[in-house]
Amino acid sequence: MTDHVTEAVTVLQKNHFKITKQRRTMLTFLSEQPDYYTNVTALDAYMRQLYPGMSHATIYRNIKEFVDLGLVEQQVDGDQARVKFQCDFAHMHHHHFVCRRCGRVTELEMCPLDMSFFENQLPGAQIEGHRFEIYGLCAACSAEQAS
Protein backbone atom coordinates (compact mmCIF):
# COMPACT_ATOMS: atom_id res chain seq x y z
CA MET A 1 0.00 0.00 0.00
CA THR A 2 1.41 3.40 -0.96
CA ASP A 3 2.06 6.15 1.57
CA HIS A 4 -0.80 8.16 0.08
CA VAL A 5 -3.26 5.32 0.49
CA THR A 6 -2.03 4.87 4.07
CA GLU A 7 -2.68 8.59 4.66
CA ALA A 8 -6.17 8.23 3.19
CA VAL A 9 -6.92 5.18 5.37
CA THR A 10 -5.81 7.18 8.42
CA VAL A 11 -8.26 9.95 7.48
CA LEU A 12 -11.04 7.37 7.13
CA GLN A 13 -10.22 5.88 10.52
CA LYS A 14 -10.13 9.29 12.21
CA ASN A 15 -13.60 9.93 10.78
CA HIS A 16 -14.90 6.57 12.06
CA PHE A 17 -15.24 4.85 8.69
CA LYS A 18 -14.87 1.10 8.48
CA ILE A 19 -11.80 0.15 6.42
CA THR A 20 -13.06 -2.34 3.86
CA LYS A 21 -11.19 -4.06 1.05
CA GLN A 22 -13.49 -2.28 -1.40
CA ARG A 23 -12.55 1.15 -0.03
CA ARG A 24 -8.86 0.24 -0.11
CA THR A 25 -9.25 -0.98 -3.69
CA MET A 26 -10.90 2.26 -4.79
CA LEU A 27 -8.21 4.35 -3.13
CA THR A 28 -5.41 2.21 -4.55
CA PHE A 29 -6.90 2.38 -8.06
CA LEU A 30 -7.09 6.18 -7.89
CA SER A 31 -3.64 6.53 -6.31
CA GLU A 32 -2.10 4.63 -9.23
CA GLN A 33 -3.20 7.43 -11.57
CA PRO A 34 -2.23 10.51 -9.55
CA ASP A 35 -1.86 12.84 -12.52
CA TYR A 36 -5.21 12.17 -14.20
CA TYR A 37 -8.89 12.45 -13.45
CA THR A 38 -10.74 9.14 -13.84
CA ASN A 39 -14.27 9.04 -15.15
CA VAL A 40 -16.54 7.86 -12.32
CA THR A 41 -18.25 5.38 -14.65
CA ALA A 42 -14.84 3.78 -15.39
CA LEU A 43 -14.15 3.47 -11.67
CA ASP A 44 -17.62 2.01 -11.18
CA ALA A 45 -17.02 -0.57 -13.94
CA TYR A 46 -13.62 -1.51 -12.47
CA MET A 47 -15.05 -1.98 -8.99
CA ARG A 48 -18.05 -3.99 -10.20
CA GLN A 49 -15.72 -6.25 -12.18
CA LEU A 50 -13.69 -7.00 -9.03
CA TYR A 51 -16.69 -7.07 -6.69
CA PRO A 52 -19.74 -8.17 -8.74
CA GLY A 53 -22.08 -7.85 -5.77
CA MET A 54 -21.12 -4.23 -5.13
CA SER A 55 -23.91 -1.84 -6.08
CA HIS A 56 -23.59 1.38 -8.05
CA ALA A 57 -25.08 3.20 -5.06
CA THR A 58 -22.33 1.93 -2.75
CA ILE A 59 -19.60 2.97 -5.18
CA TYR A 60 -21.03 6.45 -5.69
CA ARG A 61 -21.66 6.89 -1.94
CA ASN A 62 -18.03 6.03 -1.24
CA ILE A 63 -16.85 8.47 -3.89
CA LYS A 64 -18.97 11.21 -2.32
CA GLU A 65 -17.59 10.39 1.13
CA PHE A 66 -14.03 10.45 -0.23
CA VAL A 67 -14.69 13.86 -1.80
CA ASP A 68 -16.24 15.20 1.41
CA LEU A 69 -13.21 14.03 3.40
CA GLY A 70 -10.75 15.51 0.89
CA LEU A 71 -9.34 12.13 -0.12
CA VAL A 72 -10.21 12.63 -3.75
CA GLU A 73 -10.81 15.67 -5.88
CA GLN A 74 -13.85 15.85 -8.12
CA GLN A 75 -14.39 17.60 -11.43
CA VAL A 76 -17.86 17.83 -12.96
CA ASP A 77 -18.40 18.78 -16.59
CA GLY A 78 -22.07 18.64 -17.49
CA ASP A 79 -23.24 15.15 -16.55
CA GLN A 80 -19.70 13.73 -16.51
CA ALA A 81 -18.06 13.39 -13.10
CA ARG A 82 -14.38 12.58 -12.78
CA VAL A 83 -12.26 12.03 -9.71
CA LYS A 84 -8.58 11.83 -8.89
CA PHE A 85 -6.66 10.99 -5.78
CA GLN A 86 -5.80 13.98 -3.60
CA CYS A 87 -2.47 15.17 -4.94
CA ASP A 88 -1.28 17.01 -1.85
CA PHE A 89 -2.46 16.03 1.63
CA ALA A 90 -0.12 18.64 3.16
CA HIS A 91 -1.73 21.46 1.15
CA MET A 92 -5.39 20.64 0.71
CA HIS A 93 -6.06 24.08 -0.80
CA HIS A 94 -4.50 24.07 -4.24
CA HIS A 95 -5.41 24.45 -7.88
CA HIS A 96 -4.66 22.69 -11.16
CA PHE A 97 -3.61 23.05 -14.75
CA VAL A 98 -5.38 20.39 -16.86
CA CYS A 99 -4.14 19.47 -20.32
CA ARG A 100 -7.09 19.31 -22.72
CA ARG A 101 -5.28 16.83 -24.94
CA CYS A 102 -3.67 14.20 -22.70
CA GLY A 103 -5.58 14.95 -19.49
CA ARG A 104 -2.48 15.30 -17.30
CA VAL A 105 -3.16 17.31 -14.16
CA THR A 106 -0.44 19.54 -12.73
CA GLU A 107 -0.76 21.03 -9.27
CA LEU A 108 -0.38 24.81 -9.07
CA GLU A 109 1.41 26.00 -5.96
CA MET A 110 -0.22 29.38 -5.47
CA CYS A 111 -3.77 30.63 -5.21
CA PRO A 112 -4.46 33.68 -7.37
CA LEU A 113 -7.70 34.56 -5.59
CA ASP A 114 -7.96 37.11 -2.81
CA MET A 115 -10.98 35.92 -0.84
CA SER A 116 -11.45 39.33 0.83
CA PHE A 117 -12.48 40.66 -2.59
CA PHE A 118 -15.43 38.26 -2.62
CA GLU A 119 -16.25 38.71 1.08
CA ASN A 120 -16.70 42.44 0.41
CA GLN A 121 -19.17 41.64 -2.38
CA LEU A 122 -21.09 39.12 -0.29
CA PRO A 123 -21.63 40.78 3.10
CA GLY A 124 -22.85 38.31 5.70
CA ALA A 125 -22.13 35.28 3.52
CA GLN A 126 -19.87 32.48 4.73
CA ILE A 127 -17.55 31.46 1.92
CA GLU A 128 -16.46 27.85 2.39
CA GLY A 129 -14.09 27.39 -0.53
CA HIS A 130 -13.48 27.74 -4.22
CA ARG A 131 -12.06 25.88 -7.21
CA PHE A 132 -9.69 27.22 -9.80
CA GLU A 133 -8.42 25.30 -12.81
CA ILE A 134 -6.53 26.39 -15.88
CA TYR A 135 -6.97 24.46 -19.12
CA GLY A 136 -4.78 24.25 -22.18
CA LEU A 137 -2.02 22.13 -23.66
CA CYS A 138 0.84 20.89 -21.49
CA ALA A 139 4.40 21.42 -22.70
CA ALA A 140 4.65 17.91 -24.18
CA CYS A 141 1.37 18.16 -26.09
CA SER A 142 2.15 21.70 -27.20
CA ALA A 143 5.53 20.60 -28.57
CA GLU A 144 3.97 17.57 -30.28
CA GLN A 145 1.30 19.72 -31.87
CA ALA A 146 3.92 22.22 -33.11
CA SER A 147 5.96 19.51 -34.88
Domain count, the chain: 2
The pLDDT, as a whole number, for residue 40 is 93
On whether both 80 and 36 belong to a single domain, the answer is yes
CA distance 70 to 15: 12
On whether both 65 and 126 belong to a single domain, the answer is no
- 90 in any annotated domain: no
The pLDDT, as a whole number, for residue 92 is 60
First to last CA, the chain: 40
pTM for this entry: 0.74
Question: What is the CATH classification number for the domain harbouring 80?
Answer: 1.10.10.10
On whether both 119 and 141 belong to a single domain, the answer is yes
Q: Show the domain range for 60.
A: 3-85
Contact 86, 37 (CB under 8 A): no
- 102 in any annotated domain: yes
On whether both 12 and 70 belong to a single domain, the answer is yes
Question: Given pLDDT bands bounded at 50, 70 and 90, which one contains residue 90?
Answer: low
Contact 94, 82 (CB under 8 A): no
Boundary of a domain, candidates 39, 54, 85: 85
pLDDT digits 0-9 by tens, 102-135: 888 887 777 777 777 788 888 888 877 777 778 8
On whether both 111 and 62 belong to a single domain, the answer is no
| Strands annotated E in the chain | 38-39, 72-77, 80-85, 95-99, 105-108, 133-136
